Chain A
Amino acid sequence: MIDLLAIGSSGVRAYQAALAQTGDNVANADTVGYARRSLKLATGPAGAGTPLSRDTAGGSGVVAGDIVRAGDALKTNAARVASGDHARFAARSDWLGRLQAVVTGSNLDSRIGGFFDAGTDLAAAPTSAAARTIFLDRADQAASAFRDADEKLAGLGKDIATATSSTVDEVNAITSALARVNDELRRTQAGGSAANSLLDNRDSLLAELADRVRISVTEAPRGIVTVQIGAGGAAAILVPGKGDAVRIGVRDGASGAELILDPTHSATAIRLPASGSLSGLIEAGRQVASAAQAVNLLASRFATGVNAWHTLGTDALGDAGTRLFATQSLAVTPGKANAGSASVDLQIADGAVPDPTGYRLLRDASGWTLSRNDGGASVTGPGAMTLDGISVQPGTGARDGDSYALDVRNGAAGITLRPVGPERLAVAARFISDAGAANTGDARLVLDTDVSAAAFAAAPPYTVTITGAGSATIADAAGTVLAALVLDGSRMIGAGFGFTLTGTPATGDSFRILASAAGSSDNGNIRTLARLRDSQGAGGTLESSLDASTAGIASRLAESDRLAASSLAIKDDTARAADAVSGIDLDHEAAELTRLQMAYRANAQVIAAARDLFDAILGIAR
């Protein structure tokens, strides 16, 4: 009777607790990281019939046991790995998409093409001022496209570096939080509500960590975890079961950024983890660096080629062509410890060649000092000063001790159009030739510019006269014979030019070789610009090597997109499998609620029955 009352009340208490747990499940139906809990019910303890513990005949009711967290360690781990895989490909595809936008957005391809096409237009109208101006403008556009591409790539590289270091910070924050959770778990009683919250917390942290780096998790009793970076027995430990987490960092390695363990104490490089957004970021960073390098190589090749071509011609004033592009510039970087806010204006004189080691500008009590980094030269002054053709003009607001680094930039960042006027474009070939009108043979003289040729002292114009079968002379304007020539079809050299005679000349035929004069409408030099366009170098022509590097980025991006899409599907599947175990199904909870409610009511009836029995007993006594 008393037993029955006790049994009923134990049932009411147990089902109340179970109902409360179901209510908690329903309340947390949408909480991320919450694992479904259920109350484990157990038969009440029965004693052995000793004076201290009674052996009851009718059972001893029910007790509410541990609260069990639903979960499947294997499925959770699979979901974590799949999520990390997706994070890696998604990060890579996101940043490669931006890289592709930068590479195609700089329009390098059409600017370089536009430059060469303007050359074709100029060849058709060598004396047209408009065609010359357009050609120069296109050259400027090509140079600025290179600078623009370089600047954007550098910006993108910097963004990736920032994202990488903030991801590293996040990883370090998560691992130290995990180390604290391990500590808490060690102190907390297992199976309680506090321990379950800690385990939820632990699983969320592990999921976040796995999104960033590939981890392997080993679980000890009480839910304490040991986390290793990467997989396999030799994987380095990030979070030990007991003690502090090991930090990670990123440094510049031989092939771009590399991951290191314990950066502040004993930095050791580790292999790039196979999944996680950090890997995706580092891979994208390497890709950006290689794209920037390709653009730099291309810029150098373009500028060197165009400069070499242009110096072979003669401009509209009759002078030899100069370099069209400057290939170096200086970048000013204020010192990190600068207290002042002065800006520095910088100018490189045309034709000045900055020292490759760079320069340093320092402010002290006596004024400013500009010194070459190799220690070879320096100038001191109160303000503006010039060294090696580099003029600096420090602004106001500098403090003593402020310093500025002046680094030489080559490649794409350094390419600029030199101050070349339209009349200074070397469109004409250095030398032109014509055949005497009275020639009776059908020979033609084919000229080429050869700066190193010096068979005799330069004295244009020259006349080549055929003196007999297989022999000729070359004479200056006064008729003085400079050299006798043997006509065997081979190339002959003069002063600054070489030539061949094709066809059959007749004795007495003559050819003139003249230096291009001012105002010449010859297009000999600009016609050879097409050869530069077609010239083969590393990766083919200028334009095809650019195409190849764009296509390389594009195909890697397309591959990353595909991998991101397929890994997303796997991520979804594994997440659903894990959630099916640990997640909340509201219909299921509703059914549970009904079931528990009924059990509760039945137990209340047991108490009522016990009371009825009690009343009956009291009735007998009365």
Chain B
Amino acid sequence: MTQINTRAAHTAAVARMSDLSAQLDVVQGQIATGRRVTLPSDDPVAFTRAAVLHRAQAASDASQRSIDAGARRLTATDTALEGISNLVQRARELALQGANGTLSADDRGIIATELREIQASFVSLADSRGSDGERLFGGAAADRPAYAADSNGVIRWSGAGKAPPVPLGDTSVASGVEGPDAFGTTDPATNREDIFATLANLSKALAEPDPDLRDAAMAASIGQIDGHVTRLADSRAAAGARLARLETESERLSKGKLATETDLSKLESLDLTEAIPRLQRLMVVLQATQASFAKLTSLSLWDSLR
């Protein structure tokens, strides 16, 4: 004959109800947080994968910030180069005007005055700074002016190295244009001049009283200026290409981020359409258990004994 131990039966019924309550608590917590995996032990494999994805997300945020910083620098460089291009174009117009033999010395004086302004503007643009106060055209030596006069009074590039590149995975993209690449270098041996020297020579040519010498010097300067215009255009194209590369990378990052987010939500997120019916089912079962427990425990032979 099987007996039902009253105490054990009671304890078992209570344990079943606590178990149901605990399951309800878990489902309720999952619904409240919207997450299926809250602790590593909920799903060790998903947790490990999610940890990797979370990290990838943080790293891609950091990469995005560094791409943004590089792009800011390149945009600032492009703006400065555009200003310099305009100045050099204007200098070329002035040189063509000055080469006109019919101009008087006074007229050439007026042109020379404007040229001095252009020179001053160029000097300040060549020393342009980025958002962190770094010289855009100084390469890696960004804490000192990019150009300075040497002991002979000749203005030379005082930068060194290259602007800090933006790391993109295994490769990197230069985040700037160095002074000599944009403005040329002065080398008498090969008849090279940078913009500083060309503008100075142009001023000198305008002040030359001898018309023959002046014409020759003006023609040489205009030749140099044409070279500078081409070089500046090349530099701007290079800066633009680098910007475009950063933009492509940035797009790739945001696409990757979206994919990561989708993966993460697959791994961690709770399927509500499945969770809410489960919650309801558990609630129904718990209520039924409670009701049947109350009914059964009220049954006792002792009540019938008189």
Contact = CB atoms under 8 A, between A and B. Distances in A.
Nearest to A508: B190
B200 interface: no
Q: Pick the 9 closest A-B CB pairs, nearest first.
A: A583-B5, A519-B143, A124-B66, A554-B40, A432-B161, A437-B180, A521-B142, A124-B69, A120-B62
A551 interface: yes
A432 B44 contact: no
B7 A543 contact: no
Given A557-B41, A590-B305, A594-B305, A124 B7 contact: no
B65 A547 contact: no
B192 A576 contact: no
Given A117-B61, A434-B139, A588-B3, A126 B8 contact: no
A514 B165 CA distance: 17
Given A113-B55, A576-B12, A583 B162 contact: no
A70 to B, nearest CB: 9
A550 B65 CA distance: 30
Contact of B8 (A118, A530, A576): A576
Interface residues on A, range: 35 or more
Contacts of B66: 120-121, 123-124
Nearest to A28: B7
A125 interface: yes
A121 B184 CA distance: 32
A456 to B, nearest CB: 21
Given A29-B6, A117-B59, A527-B167, A553 B160 contact: no
B41 A512 contact: no
Nearest to B305: A590
A110 B42 CA distance: 20
Interface string A213-244: 00000000000000000000000000000000
15 contacts: A110-B54, A114-B58, A120-B66, A121-B66, A124-B69, A124-B164, A127-B133, A434-B162, A438-B185, A518-B143, A550-B47, A579-B5, A580-B8, A583-B3, A590-B300
B62 A121 contact: yes
Contacts of A438: 185, 187, 190, 192
Given A516-B140, A548-B48, A585-B3, A523 B63 contact: no
Contacts, number: 184
Interface string B5-26: 1111000100100000000000
A516 B39 CA distance: 48
Contacts of B48: 547-548, 550-551
* Residue picked from B61, B139, B166, B301, most chain A C-beta under 10 Å: B301
Interface in B43-86: 43-45, 47-48, 51-52, 54-55, 58-59, 61-63, 65-70
A433 B161 contact: yes
Given A554-B40, A590-B302, 20 more contacts: A29-B7, A97-B41, A100-B41, A104-B39, A110-B54, A120-B62, A121-B62, A124-B69, A432-B140, A438-B185, A516-B161, A520-B141, A520-B143, A522-B164, A554-B47, A557-B41, A576-B5, A576-B12, A580-B2, A587-B6
A585 B6 contact: yes
A543 B55 contact: yes
Contacts of A548: 48
Contacts of A433: 161
B302 A523 contact: no
Contacts of B58: 110, 113-114, 117
Given A432-B160, A520-B141, A547-B51, A586 B300 contact: yes
A575 B160 CA distance: 83
A558 interface: yes
Contacts of B7: 29-30, 579, 583-584
Given A128-B132, A550-B48, A587-B301, A520 B3 contact: no
Given A117-B58, A519-B143, A585 B4 contact: yes
Given A550-B51, A585-B6, A523 B164 contact: yes
Interface string A89-100: 000000011001
Given A120-B66, A521-B143, A558-B41, A586 B302 contact: yes
A547 B41 CA distance: 13
B181 interface: yes
Interface string B243-261: 0000000000000000000
A562 B141 CA distance: 62
A38 interface: no
Interface residues on B, range: 35 or more
B12 A572 contact: yes
A124 B143 contact: no
Contacts of B8: 575-576, 579-580, 583
Interface string B133-170: 11000111111100000000000000011111111000
Contacts of A599: none
A15 B163 CA distance: 107
A124 B160 contact: no
A555 interface: yes
Interface of A: 29-30, 96-97, 100, 104, 109-110, 113-114, 116-118, 120-121, 123-128, 428, 432-434, 437-438, 512, 514, 516-523, 527, 530, 543-544, 547-548, 550-551, 553-555, 557-558, 561, 572, 575-576, 579-581, 583-588, 590-591, 593-594
Contacts of A127: 132-134, 142-143
A123 B172 CA distance: 11
* Residue picked from A433, A530, A579, most chain B C-beta under 10 Å: A579
B127 interface: no
Nearest to A518: B143
B179 to A, nearest CB: 9
A588 B45 CA distance: 53
A450 B293 CA distance: 79
B59 A517 contact: no
B143 A580 contact: no
Contacts of B67: 124
Nearest to A587: B301
A96 B7 CA distance: 33
A319 B134 CA distance: 20
A125 B132 contact: yes
Contacts of A437: 180-181, 184-185
A96 B44 CA distance: 14
Nearest to B178: A434
Nearest to A521: B142
Contacts of B45: 551
A286 to B, nearest CB: 18
A519 B158 CA distance: 14
Contact of B52 (A104, A547, A580): A547
A537 B229 CA distance: 53
Given A100-B41, A516-B140, A544 B3 contact: no
Nearest to A590: B301
A366 to B, nearest CB: 56
